[in-house]
Amino acid sequence: MSPVSKSAAAIAAARAEGRPALICYLPAGFPDVQGTIDAAVAMAENGADIIEVGIPYSDPVMDGSVIQAATVQSLAQGFKVAQVFDIVRGITERCNATVMIMTYWNPVLRMGVDEFSRCLAEAGGAGLITPDLVPDEAAEWMEASDKYGLDRVFLVAPSSTEARMKATVEASRGFVYCVSVMGVTGARAEVSDAAAAVVAAAHAAGAENACVGLGVSQRKHVTEIGAYSDGVIVGTALVAALRDGGVDAVAKLTAELSGRTVNA
């Protein structure tokens, strides 16, 4: 029997309210460790169903300039990977949001996949989103995530073949991350038409929850994409808000994205 998925439960709760789940990203240690926790809590209090905490990494090939600048700053300030567990714990102690970690794979490999998973589960985290790990290379992670009851969110893209879509959906637990566009993270004026096709393919491959990320930055994107997907993922726009206006700006943007009034 597969473990109960925290992220699937969060998405189901949103669905029961007749809306897509809102998944909000921010980098660990930006603007600093406490600032990450405060911003994440503000997100949760203003409509975020799932918080995605990114581990700053020296070679983030899937990230655009805004997120790169934030993670470079975090690393320059001395951020250590183990602090991400303090952040996850800090958030889950203060609110009910489901917290996931987004990480490139080498930091996990370095710590040891089993040890990393154990620490994440202990901190109250729900699982991992892995932008540069495909199921083909994930044997160790499949085992550890089963052992500790963690969700494993792999990415699917407009370029994914039917066979790969099926294999990736089968390997995922919680939701699959549908990349809306062939490109890297960054706010875009319009979300690509490709997103609907990727979500449809993921659903056809058996995905219960298909969430869309990359380029999503505005309330109108949330409603557009929410019409056909199970959740929307916002990153760059929130990081820019945190950079320019601190926690208040994050609270305001999250409320706007979720269609609520600000809860400060």
Write out the E strands in 34-139. Answer: 50-54, 98-102, 127-129
Q: What is the dihedral of CA 157, 158, 160, 166, to 10 degrees?
A: 80
**DSSP 8-class letter at 192:** -
Question: Within 10 A of 1 (CB to CB), how many other CB atoms are there?
Answer: 3
Q: Which stretch binds other proteins (CB under 8 A): 91-99, 155-163, 204-212, 256-264?
A: 155-163
Catalytic choice (63, 151, 224, 230): 63
Residues 45 and 90: their CA atoms lie apart, in Å, by 15
Interaction of residue 191 with other proteins, rule CB under 8 A: no
Contact between 157 and other proteins per CB under 8 A? yes
Strands (E), the chain: 21-27, 50-54, 98-102, 127-129, 151-153, 155-156, 176-179, 210-213, 231-234
154-165 residues labelled b (16+ CB within 10 A) or e (exposed): bbbbbebeeebb
Query: Does residue 183 belong to the site contacting other proteins (CB under 8 A)?
Result: yes
- Report yes or no: 216 and 234 within 8 Å, Cβ to Cβ: yes
4/182 with CB nearer other proteins = 182
* 53-92: contacts with other proteins (CB under 8 A): 57-62, 64-65, 68, 72, 75, 80-81
Of 7-15, 51-59, 232-240, 256-264, which segment contacts other proteins by CB under 8 A?
51-59
**Interface with other proteins includes 155 (CB under 8 A)?**
yes
* Smallest gap from residue 181 Cβ to other proteins (A): 8
- Nearest approach, Cβ of residue 250 and other proteins (Å): 25
22 or 102: whose CB is closer to other proteins? 102
Closer to other proteins by Cβ: residue 10 or 70: 70
63 is catalytic: yes
Q: Pick from 21, 41, 102, 156: which binds other proteins (CB under 8 A)? A: 156
CA 130, 4, 86, 100 dihedral sign is: positive
Q: Length of the chain, please?
A: 264
Cβ-proximal residues to 78 (8 Å cutoff; 6+ apart), any chain: none
Scanning residues 122 to 141, which ones bind other proteins (CB under 8 A)?
A: 131-134, 136-137
Q: Which one from 45, 49, 52, 151 is the annotated catalytic residue?
A: 52
Q: Which residues pair with 101 in a beta bridge?
A: 53, 128
Site residues for other proteins, 94-123, by CB under 8 A, read 105-111
| Site size toward other proteins, by CB under 8 A | 40
Q: Which residues are catalytic?
A: 52, 63
Which positions touch other proteins (CB under 8 A)?
Answer: 57-62, 64-65, 68, 72, 75, 80-81, 105-111, 131-134, 136-137, 154-161, 164, 168, 179, 182-184
